[in-house]
């Protein structure tokens, strides 16, 4: 009789522990799926340009002016610069095409908006998919900007077929022509 009780207790224990293994398996499976979301931050040390990304992943970010990569955040008044998210991956494709948007907000040091464009690519936002997509936004400087002042530039790219996005921010200083 003693032997039968030990076997019964062992079987009860095994039956009781099965739900625990099921829950553990479900948690592991869920965590693997959550890990497929790519989020992170990239910062360019020279310019201070930052990219906070989710599902759209650039390899690096930088500013260009006159076809040269900048190593500081000083922009001559009246000149343009290009904010670049290089080799961005993660776009959702439909029929071999991708679609994305780009917003641009420029504020002065007091927080007053000088520009707020909700979608610069509207109407021209569907392109052939490419394995190395470069997201670029050209930013012009000029009036009402003033020499010696700093401005916050915020550019947001998003995937119109998916949920991915990149939020870029940089503080620029307007200088006179060299």
Q: Which two tokens stand for residue 42?
A: 């990239």
What is the per-residue pLDDT across 123-143, written as a single tens digit (0 to 9) for each?
989 999 887 689 999 999 999
pTM, to two decimals = 0.78
Q: Which domain holds residue 121?
A: 39-175
What is the per-residue pLDDT across 47-61, written as a single tens digit (0 to 9) for each?
999 999 999 999 999
Domain count, the chain: 2
Q: Which tops the pLDDT comparison, 102 or 12?
A: 102
Say yes or no: 55 and 101 in one domain: yes
Say yes or no: 97 and 134 in one domain: yes
Q: Are 73 and 48 in contact (CB under 8 A)?
A: yes
Strands 165-175 and 74-76, bridge-based pairing? parallel
What is the per-residue pLDDT across 37-50, written as a single tens digit (0 to 9) for each?
799 999 999 999 99
Say yes or no: 46 and 31 in one domain: no
The answer to whether the bond into 127 is cis (omega within 30° of 0) is: no
162: β partners: none
Other Cβ atoms within 10 Å of 99 Cβ, number = 17
Q: Give the integer Cα–Cα distance in Å for 71 and 58.
A: 19
Q: Give the integer Cα–Cα distance in Å for 58 and 153.
A: 19
Say yes or no: 7 and 86 in one domain: no
């Amino acid at each position: 009789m003693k032997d039968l009780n030990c076997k019964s207790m062992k079987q009860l224990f095994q039956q009781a522990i099965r739900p625990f293994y099921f829950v553990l398996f479900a948690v592991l499976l869920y965590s693997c799926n959550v890990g497929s979301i790519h989020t992170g931050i990239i910062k360019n040390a020279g310019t201070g340009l930052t990219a906070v990304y989710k599902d759209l992943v650039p390899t690096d970010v930088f500013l260009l002016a006159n076809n040269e990569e900048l190593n500081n955040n000083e922009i001559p008044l009246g000149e343009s610069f290009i904010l670049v998210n290089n080799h961005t991956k993660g776009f959702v494709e439909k029929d071999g095409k991708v679609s994305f948007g780009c917003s641009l907000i420029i504020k002065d040091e007091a927080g007053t908006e000088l520009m707020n464009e909700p979608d610069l690519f509207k109407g021209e936002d569907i392109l052939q998919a490419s394995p190395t997509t470069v997201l670029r936004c050209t930013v012009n400087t000029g009036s009402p900007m003033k020499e010696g002042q700093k401005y916050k530039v915020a550019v947001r790219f998003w995937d119109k077929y998916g949920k991915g996005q990149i939020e870029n921010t940089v503080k620029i200083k307007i200088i006179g022509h060299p």
